[in-house]
Amino acid sequence: DIQMTQSPSTLSASVGDRVTITCRASQSINSWLAWYQQKPGKAPRLLIHKASSLQSGVSPSFSGSASGTEFTLTITSLQPDDFATYYCQQYKTYPWTFGQGTKVEIK
């Protein structure tokens, strides 16, 4: 199985901060990577697919990038609504696998 390793596990930040979350795949997944946002008690929401394609309706303050097996989710200016847990997910090979999540907390 392809292992997805996210860092950090928890991130404390303030409104207006630039935030970066990293996800590393254990083997090549090309660009078949997605990012999700999940708030407590809610289903996840797709933010980014194919490593850097912004899902329709998602704020352009979210962006994704890739370099080999390392992927990055960036929030350019953190807003109050962005405090949540973020997951990366590979969909190159079954079983599709997720990172363990990054909780973005208010500093």
Partner 1 sequence: EVQLVESGGGLIQPGGSLRLSCAASGFLASSYHMTWLRQAPGRGLEWVSVIYSGGTTYYADFVKGRFTISRDNSKNTVYLQMNSLRAEDTAIYYCARVVTHDSGWIPFDYWGQGTLVTVSS
Q: Are 99 and 89 in contact (CB under 8 A)?
A: yes
Q: Are 54 and 48 in contact (CB under 8 A)?
A: yes
Tell me which residues in 41-80 interact with partner 1 (CB under 8 A).
43-46, 49-50, 55
**Number of residues lying near partner 1 (CB under 8 A):** 22
The token pair that represents 25 in the structure block: 């795949």
Cβ atoms within 10 Å, residue 85? 18
The token pair that represents 17 in the structure block: 């901060």
**Closest approach of partner 1 to the CB of residue 60, in Å:** 18
**Closest approach of partner 1 to the CB of residue 81, in Å:** 18
- In the block, which residue shows the tokens 């190159």? 92
83 interacts with partner 1 by CB under 8 A: no
Q: CB nearer to partner 1: give 34 or 104.
A: 34
The binding site for partner 1 (CB under 8 A) comprises 32, 34, 36, 38, 43-46, 49-50, 55, 87, 89, 91, 94-101
